Amino acid sequence: MHFGPHLLLAALEGLVTSAVLALTALGLSLVFGVMRVVNVAHGEFFMLGAVLAWAISTAISDHPALGFLAALVLAPLIVGLIALVAERLVLRRLNYNPEATIVATIGMLYIIQQLALTFYGPEARPVEAPFSYRILLPWFGYSGYKLSIIAASAFLLIATWLVLTRTKIGLVMRATQYDRETAQAFGIPVERVYAGVFAFGAMLAAVAAVLIVPISQAHYLMGQDPLLLSFIVVIIGGLGSLRGTVVAAVLIGLSDGIISVFFSPTLAKIIATLLVAMVLVFRPQGLFGTSSR
């Protein structure tokens, strides 16, 4: 294949990765930014979203689109509820201590993973896409559903951005993020904000998973890579910066796609990871973060 189309394909693939990554990472970033909690179990919420999507769409198997839509609504809600319970039972009782919450979320990771293995099983299971339209380009074919993921993700990101910047909920969240004590003094119910943010973060991961599952199957170990990538995106993008998170997700997604055009894939991963690490070393506040707070 010629270089131009090859690059186009790599870019398209990169954008799909970016779209899913942006949603997942945004969830992590909110939790991290507002609560200062490093949620190691974030990838497992992602996995739960995919597994639930399989369960729901299998239960409603009349029409793939119907099952998928039901999953798109229900799976995040269930995951959000689970996150809420976890927040109540564990994180709150730890008073959101950074180190303690890392251990606790590692514990959650094990629990969720094991429950998925026990009840869902070790197989990778597919979910049918709501529609299967193959876009025929002059050089290659491309999945229409993949393009719709990009659109759906963009829509969700804009909606989240509007909520964060234009509504009272967003204001309250930002105030809590800026200074917990002061927010409390101003009568903001910090604990409720935290619970809401944690659940919302998990829901974003679940939505991302439901979107991706028709092209990449549900599997009980699928949460690992999104977790690592999301961490990277959050740090590169700068803490609690929605714009930074999205830009970083696009950057990571595209570079992942495009670097692989030029290098052997494992070498490409080595170079990409090293590059990102170097960015962190020499600009630890991230590319878009402000230097101090």
**Residues 151-210, interacting with other proteins (CB under 8 A):** none
Q: Pick the binder of other proteins from 66, 81, 171, 261 (CB under 8 A).
A: 261
Q: Which helix (H) or strand (E) holds 160?
A: helix 144-166
Minimum separation from the CB atom of position 290 to other proteins (A): 12
Q: In this complex, which beta carbon is closest to other proteins, that of residue 16 or of residue 204?
A: 16
Alpha-carbon radius of gyration of the chain = 19
Smallest separation (angstroms) from other proteins to the CB of 7: 9
For residue 38, state whether it binds other proteins (rule: CB under 8 A). yes
Toward other proteins, which CB reaches closer, 116 or 204? 116
3-class DSSP state for residue 161? Answer: helix
Site of tokens 């939505």: 207
Least distance (Å) between residue 265 CB and other proteins: 5
Using the rule CB under 8 A, is 66 a contact of other proteins?
A: no
Rounded-to-integer distance, Cα 22 and Cα 158, Å: 12
The nearer residue to other proteins, 52 or 207, going by C-beta atoms, is 52
Segment lying near other proteins (by CB under 8 A), choices 99-107, 167-175, 180-188, 241-249: 99-107
Closest CA to 103 of 94, 112, 114: 94
Nearest residue to 108 (alpha-carbon basis) of 196, 46, 20, 35: 46
Number of alpha carbons in the 13 Å side-chain half-sphere of residue 18: 27
- We find the least distance from the C-beta atom of residue 194 to other proteins, in angstroms, to be 17
Among 196, 201, 244, 257, binds other proteins (CB under 8 A): 257
Where is 214: in which H helix or E strand? helix 190-216
224 is a contact residue toward other proteins (CB under 8 A): yes
Q: Is 64 in the site for other proteins (CB under 8 A)?
A: yes
What 61-64 contacts at long range (C-beta under 8 Å, 24+ apart), as own/partner pairs, is 64/128, 64/129, 64/130, 64/131
What is the nearest approach in angstroms of other proteins to the Cβ of residue 187? Answer: 28
